Structure 1
Amino acid sequence: MFMAGSGTFLWLAQGEIPIGTAYAVWTSIGAAGTFIVGNLFFGDQASIFKYFAILLIVGGVAMLQLAP
């Protein structure tokens, strides 16, 4: 159910923004979301380096969106 919804939102987003940017946003949400869920619910190990890596992913996608 969530996969179908996720794919639908990707399809809708590509109508408003370039497909490359839409896909980057889609995959970064999945990566950051999986990291957060793993930490909160499954006790995965977290370190300052992993948080920094997620910050770089999210920051990179934000810069993609803001670039002319």
Structure 2
Amino acid sequence: MPREAAWAWALLLGAGLLEVVWAIALKQSEGFTRLLPSAIGIAAAGVSFAMLTLALRWLPVGTAYAVWVGIGTVGVAVAGIAALGEAATAPRLLCLGLIVAGVVGLKLIGR
């Protein structure tokens, strides 16, 4: 894998992880009524978008966006289950597994 592509995938992974941070922070902000979680959520969102934008220099937009959203979706769902007491039903976990399979598939096929 060329160095630029590896860098782009690293940026995309970081952007996806920051998507989890901002989503959870905004949940904790209680509708922007709590300053610290609001500020963390807004800052994490900005950095996440910037990292996604940089990754798009080398990655196809359809693949990059799907991977970014997939990381965020699965990450937020897992955080909700682990830390916020959300349900971990078999159908929900199966659907999350399908998202992971799709993200891995997109990564494997590359361009």
TM class by shorter chain equals 0.7 to 0.9
| Number of aligned residue pairs | 68
Alignment of 1:25-64 (within 5 A): 25-64=67-106
The residue aligned with 2:108 is 66
Name the Cα RMSD after superposition: 1.3
One-letter code of the match for 2:44? Answer: F
Higher alpha-carbon Rg: 2
Aligned to 2:45: 3
Deviating beyond 3 angstroms after TM superposition, the runs of 4 or more aligned structure 1 residues are: none
TM-score by length of 1: 0.88
Gaps of 5+ in 2: 1-42
Residue type at the aligned position of 2:49: G
Q: Percent identity?
A: 37
Which amino acid is 2:72 matched to? G
Counterpart residue identity of residue 2, structure 1: A
Question: Normalising by the residue count of structure 2, what TM-score does the alignment of the two structures yield?
Answer: 0.57
